[in-house]
Chain A
Amino acid sequence: MDIKVTVRAEQGGTYVVDLNGEIDVYTSPKVKDALGDLIDKGHYSLLINLEKVRYIDSTGLGVLIGGLKRVREHGGSVRLVCTNPQIRKIFDITGLVKIFGIYDDEEAAMRALV
């Protein structure tokens, strides 16, 4: 069980974080570090792509919430791309769907960032 984190810069200063794998109490520190590195470098417009995430638990959600709080302090935003219905359900029942912008694909999320 692991999580692969890939970061790429897109037009307009947005950074896309591709996550691939499972985000739980063991793997979430890796995601936290990746988001922390970006924010420490002054990148406050983030798009986190969860399309290849098969599982997320509350520690993973906590990392995303923590990242969102930090970028918002600088007027930034975190958008999520999520198509897995089980993961989408977790965002729905926790109410986080109202806090994050959640999109079906990267293109829609990028449009919303503009």
Chain B
Amino acid sequence: MPLPQPSGTTDTVELRIPSKAEWVAVARLAVAAVASRLDFSIEDIEDVKLAVAEACTNCIQHAVGSDQIEIVCERAPGGLTVRVRDNGRGTRPEAIQSRRVEETRVGGLGVFLIRSLMDTVEYDVHPDCGTNLVMTKKVSS
């Protein structure tokens, strides 16, 4: 039997990982498990999984002075909202810019993939309290 929840709350799952490459797999698998509890198709679950991994990878590679990454999954009407936040001192602007498809340079693909795979993507960069990425994925009808 589900535990009673106070009115106005949503289903939320929070995870905090060290800002290190070896922990990204834990984040993506945890978020995939959350997505699988909702009505997402296997393809959509894979999309969310990759987008979260790319967001974490961006934090590890580009956030200045970050040692933790917080991932918060929230059941949203018709889908899932995922927030990925580091505790650094901002991100270099090029790190959150999407590359053009025709470019063959190494790098810049992560943000492009996030924007391609998720329905909405918003970055909020704070020099004092890290970078906050909020992205949503709707359940395909």
Name A's B-contacting residues (CB within 8 A). 1, 22, 24-26, 55, 57-59, 61-63, 65-66, 68-69, 86, 89-90, 93-95, 99
Q: Is the CB of B104 within 8 A of A69?
A: yes
User: In this assembly, does B48 line the interface, its C-beta being within 8 Å of a C-beta of chain A?
Assistant: no
19 more CB-based (< 8 A) A-B contacts, given A61-B109, A62-B106:
A24-B21, A24-B24, A24-B25, A25-B21, A25-B24, A25-B53, A25-B60, A26-B21, A26-B25, A57-B54, A58-B110, A59-B57, A63-B106, A65-B105, A68-B104, A86-B46, A90-B113, A94-B101, A99-B104
Q: Is the CB of B54 within 8 A of A58?
A: yes
How would residues 1 to 44 of chain B score, 1 for a CB under 8 Å from any chain A CB and 0 otherwise?
Answer: 00000000000000000000110110010000000000000010
Q: Is the CB of B53 within 8 A of A57?
A: yes
Q: Given A24-B25, A62-B106, A66-B106, do A94 and B57 touch, yes or no (CB 8 Å)?
A: no
Main secondary structure of the interface of B (DSSP, over half): helix
Q: Is the CB of A24 within 8 A of B106?
A: no
Candidates B21, B57, B101; contact of A95 at CB < 8 Å? B101
* Most chain A beta-carbon neighbours within 10 Å: one of B60, B102, B109: B109
Q: Which residues of chain A are near B109, meaning CB under 8 Å?
A: 58, 61-62, 94
Distance A26 CA – B61 CA, assembled complex (angstroms): 12
Distance A88 CA – B49 CA, assembled complex (angstroms): 16
Enumerate the 3 nearest inter-chain pairs by beta-carbon distance, A residue then B residue, closest first: A95-B101, A58-B109, A26-B21
* Most chain B beta-carbon neighbours within 10 Å: one of A25, A63, A66: A25
User: In this assembly, does B120 line the interface, its C-beta being within 8 Å of a C-beta of chain A?
Assistant: no
Q: Which residues of chain A are near B112, meaning CB under 8 Å?
A: 58, 94
Distance A61 CA – B133 CA, assembled complex (angstroms): 22
Can you report 29 residue pairs joining A to B where beta carbons are below 8 Å apart? A1-B25, A24-B57, A25-B24, A25-B53, A26-B21, A57-B53, A57-B57, A57-B113, A58-B57, A58-B109, A58-B110, A58-B112, A59-B57, A59-B110, A61-B109, A62-B106, A62-B107, A62-B109, A65-B104, A66-B106, A68-B104, A89-B43, A90-B50, A90-B113, A93-B113, A94-B101, A94-B109, A94-B113, A95-B102
